[in-house]
Amino acid sequence: AMAMNEEKIWSATVLTLFPEMFPGPLGQSLAGNALKNGIWGLETVDIRSFARDKHRSVDDAPFGGGPGMVMRADVLADAVDDVGSNTGRIIYLSPQGRRLDQALARELAEQDGVVLVCGRFEGIDQRDLDGREIEEVSIGDYVLSGGETAALVLLDAVVRLLPGVIGDAAALDEESFAHGLLEYPQYTRPQVWEGREVPEVLTSGHHEKIRAWRLARAEELTRARRPDLWERYLRATKSRG
């Protein structure tokens, strides 16, 4: 049993037919170091271990006909129930879901953890979604062959927000979407490269001018590339007065 005063670490439980895909890329670099240092935890549950028949089948043909297979309602529900309900929100990665964005990543980072359900084939049985409290989250308007890569994307976005994962927390405050804008362009050495110079203001040492230049570039970029974000930014700026 856990001691009363022991901090519970942010933990992800991933239900999948391919547990060997985890931690995958999240075992490296920032997320990987944080995993090794116990800043977050990752557990996989092999959905196939809940199969009921001697063939260990996890999918079947869709009622009503049509191409492909669907994950069996009973097998997946047993896997979900085995995880239990005190582990955090249950999210099914799905093209029909709420679109993942920085706000949702922040929201999830503030919780104790998350349970992720990775679909395969044509997806999961609607009754699992209706009968268990499962939310749906999409990583974008395209179709992946399985939920595992989507789960890795979601976890990457969340884990880097956990306290202690990124050494310089100020970096999070500057980056894209933090204040509703895309990030300004970045430059490093060499100062002149292939005849291209770094914008002069960045080598001026004048912090206020640098800040103003970066804000102007971020606004320009957002307005040109993402009218949707720009509109929202303008509204928020106006209402702040």
Under the rule (CB under 6 A), what is the footprint of ligand SAM?
93-95, 118-120, 122-123, 138-140, 142-147, 150
Please report how close the Cβ of residue 65 comes to ligand SAM at its closest, in angstroms.
14
Instruction: Return the number of other C-beta atoms located less than 10 Å from residue 162's C-beta.
Output: 16
The nearest distance, CB 98 to ligand SAM, in angstroms, is 10
For 83, the 3-state DSSP assignment is: helix
Using the CB atoms, write b or e for 36-74: b if 16+ within 10 Å.
eeebbebebbbbeebbeeeeeebbeeeeeeeeeebbbbe
Among 53, 75, 54, which Cα is nearest to 124's? 75
* Residue 180 token pair: 């509703």
Least distance between ligand SAM and beta carbon 18 (Å): 12
Smaller CB separation from ligand SAM, 59 or 113? 59
For tokens 């005849």, name the residue.
195
Strand partners, 132: none
d(CA 196, CA 214): 19
Q: Rounded to the nearest 10 degrees, how much is the dihedral formed by the CA atoms of 54, 60, 64, 65? A: -110
Look at the block and give the residue holding tokens 């929100």. 89
Count CB neighbours of 90 within 10 A: 20
- How near is the Cβ of 68 to ligand SAM at its closest, in Å? 7
> In whole angstroms, what is the distance from residue 151 CA to residue 208 CA?
40
